[in-house]
Amino acid sequence: MAHTAPRTAVRARGREAHGVSSPTGRTGRRHPLVATAMVLPLAALLLYAFGGFEAVVTHASSVGVMLGR
């Protein structure tokens, strides 16, 4: 078991040398709209579950009052 880490590192370096950085062979970044579409449902659920909407409205209102002075 002690010698498995060096072999794993060698295999990882071999994939990088061939232009493959992930095990699936896909490289590059996710499009920002796709990332947003993935995050929005979870954000909406958390906002609803923890009462975030009221907190955002309260903070926005207080900031508006401060800027209005």
- pTM of the predicted structure, to 2 decimals: 0.36
Report the interhelical angle of 52-68 vs 32-49 (nearest 10°). 100
Q: Does residue 65 have a pLDDT over 80?
A: yes
Give the pLDDT score at 34.
92
CB 27 within 8 A of CB 20: yes
Q: Which residue has the higher pLDDT, 45 or 15?
A: 45
CA–CA gap between residue 53 and residue 51 (Å, rounded): 6
Q: What is the pLDDT of residue 12?
A: 57
Distances (CA, A) of 64 to 38, 52, 55: 31, 18, 14
Mean pLDDT of 29-56: 86
DSSP H helix total and E strand total for the chain: 3, 0
